[in-house]
Amino acid sequence: MSQFALEITDLKKTYDSDVVALKGINLSVKEGDFFALLGPNGAGKSSTIGIIASLVTKTGGKVKIFDIDTDDDFAEAKRLLGVVSQEINFNNFEKVIDIVTTQAGFYGIPLKDSKQKTEITLKRLGLWEKRNEQARTLSGGFKRRLMIAKALIHEPKLLILDEPTAGVDIELRREMWEFLKEINAQGTTIILTTHYLEEAEQLCKNIAIIDHGELVENTSMKDLLSRLDVQGFVLDIDKPLDQPPSIPDYPITLKDSTTLSVAIKKDQSINHLFDKLSALGINVSSMRNESNRLEEMFIEMVKKN
Amino acid sequence: MTRRNEILISLITLIRKEIKRYLRIWVQTLVPPAVTMSLYFVIFGSLIGPRIGTMDGLDYIQFMIPGLIMMSVITNSYANVVSSFYSVKFQKSIEELLVSPMPNWAILAGFIMGGVSRGVLIGCIVFCVSLFFYPSFTIVNPLLTISVLFLTAILFSLMGFINAIFADSFDDISIIPTFVLTPLIYLGGVFYSINILPDIWRNISMANPMLYVVNTFREGMLGVSDVSIPFALAMIIFFIVILASACLFLLHRGIGTRQ
């Protein structure tokens, strides 16, 4: 068995409208990885996922799922794959329990087993109490959970989630993160696309960035973040100031009388800044990143491209 | 579990889902044909029928029963598949099938069997209704009757599937039933024998495929027909093969289903 859960080689997609969505991307995701696939709108993320899931027909290239070439045996590859699409894709007039049981049936799971598996999956996702409700009556967050339940019912080894937390409140989003971390720890390889870069930074070990149908980055999260030249920090201070303190090489602005904003270069020491502030009689009570680090990196890369 | 068993389970799941769908909305799917056909039997069978007299040597209501059953089977098997498959496309729940390991032939067979089951069920309901108006009705050739019933339901389910594949809006799934199917059925010998038509109209009627379906079924039920039965059966089977191949080709290419 290959050490890769997913291998994509020279993947190309041109739509009927002559829009070139993918210009030949190469990508590998290791088994057990938690992988982020990022990119601005229209970059080619959903086309890539669509091709892997057989919702979009590729123009060229190869896709292998756990070493199974989808051109040779897509049915076998699909058994190992679970997909949570970006848009709601179930019949809103069916009951929650029927939607999940039917999905299990489509994977060839006998009715008796699928009922058991459905109960376990719905309980795990906090949907069991809603099992007899029509899907249309669920809130947005519960509909997202239902999408995940459907994708997990056949216990896939590779789970792809296309913006699973879009439109989901913070509490539920964090619950979902914990759930995804748990199933990843149990051995499921996860590929995630998201516009919440904090989410990708929190969850993912490795990352690829697609833009204009091309892969512009494919590395570990740690490596990518280490390349950030300048980071912005917000410092809360204990005494109010009328004007920002002047410290050479550290551009500081006053956000309000007790909050400073400072840009620190990669080769600068934050301890040195604290020493200088202490020397000026300014004590820092708390500190945070001005914006998400990955977000800064992402914007920088997409601008360059 | 073997792959064959898995495919069988997935096929049964899809058929069960399709049958549950139309049974859940039985007021919209099962009751209207029974009501409409009752009205046909009352007006054309009991009220106007006796004034018409006989058709091909049979009571008019007796002559009409196979035609009306066939009309119900055709419209319902077509409507079931076209509305169901277009709905799964519209709601994107077709993705549930496409991401699963189900082969294309099983997806097609699931929708077609759903349509066939509804068409045959409606046919049986209409037949039961007809017995209220003509209790002494007996079927001359049950084997031919049942064969034609199923073959017709399969044929028009396949047509409904192709319509749904190419449909981009709800208008697209009503245009063909309204402007093509219904006129052809009404002019296809449901209410009359083409022998009463002038030569030119009789010859034009021979080009109407519905005529063969209706008359083959009438041959099975009553033993009278305006067309050659072997030819009609061969044509029905021929078109089933052609349409099923076309459906599989369209699914394989992803036309109307994949981007």
Give tens-digit pLDDT for A126-141: 889 999 999 999 988 8
What lies within 8 Å, CB to CB, of B75 at 6+ separation is B33, B177, B181, B182, B185
Q: Is the pLDDT of residue A224 over 80?
A: no
So what's the architecture of A4-225 in CATH? 3-Layer(aba) Sandwich (3.40)
Complex-level ipTM: 0.86
Q: Is the pLDDT of residue B89 over 70?
A: yes
Winning range, highest mean pLDDT, from A185-199, A273-287, B3-17, B195-209: B3-17
A229-304: same fold as A4-225? no
Distance CA A302, CA A298 (A): 6
- The arithmetic mean of pLDDT across residues A256-274, rounded, is 82
Angstroms from B111 CA to nearest CA on chain A: 13
- What is the fold of A229-304? Alpha-Beta Plaits (3.30.70)
Q: Write the pLDDT tens digit of every residue in B216-247.
A: 999 999 888 888 899 989 989 999 999 999 99
Q: Which is nearest to B18 in space by CA: B254, B10, A151? A: B10
Q: Which is nearest to B124 in space by CA: B72, B82, B182, B191? A: B72
Q: In this structure, what are the phi and psi dihedrals at residue A21, rounded to the nearest 5 degrees?
A: -90, -35
pLDDT score recorded for residue A220: 83
Q: Write the pLDDT tens digit of every residue in A273-300.
A: 888 888 888 888 888 877 666 666 677 6
Residue in B7, B87, B259 nearest the CB of A108: B7
CB contact, 8 Å: A58 with chain B?
A: no
Helical residues (DSSP H) of chain B, grouped into ranges: 3-24, 26-29, 31-40, 49-52, 60-90, 94-98, 104-133, 142-166, 172-176, 182-186, 199-205, 209-222, 229-253
**Domain definitions of chain A by residue range:** 4-225, 229-304
CB contact under 8 A, B100 and A106: yes
**A 79-98 near B (Cβ less than 8 A):** 79, 81, 83, 85, 87-92, 98
pLDDT score recorded for residue B192: 83
Distance CA A273, CA A84 (A): 46
pLDDT score recorded for residue A297: 67
Please tell me the least confidently modeled range out of A37-41, A115-119, B81-85.
Answer: A37-41
pLDDT score recorded for residue A194: 80
Q: Which is nearest to A33 in space by CA: A298, A227, A221? A: A221
Q: Is the pLDDT of residue A305 over 70?
A: no
Q: Write the pLDDT tens digit of every residue in B103-162.
A: 999 999 999 999 999 999 999 999 999 998 888 888 889 999 999 999 999 999 999 999
pLDDT score recorded for residue A127: 87
What lies within 8 Å, CB to CB, of A144 at 6+ separation is A164, A165, A167, A168, A172, A176
CB contact under 8 A, B99 and A15: no
Average pLDDT, chain A: 86
A217 against B108, higher pLDDT: B108
Residue B45 is classified by DSSP as: I
Q: Is the pLDDT of residue B174 over 80?
A: yes
Distance CA B47, CA B41 (A): 9
What DSSP element (H or E) covers A183?
helix A170-185
CB contact, 8 Å: A285 with chain B?
A: no
Q: In this structure, what are the phi and psi dihedrals at residue B201, rounded to the nearest 5 degrees?
A: -70, -30
User: What count of other Cβ atoms lies within 10 Å of the Cβ of residue B241?
Assistant: 10
pLDDT band at A160 (very low <50, low <70, confident <90, very high): very high
Residues in chain B within 8 Å Cβ distance of A108: 1, 3, 5-7, 9-10, 101
Distance CA A196, CA A181 (A): 16
Q: Which is nearest to A221 in space by CA: A236, A201, A238, A235? A: A201
Angstroms from B257 CA to nearest CA on chain A: 8
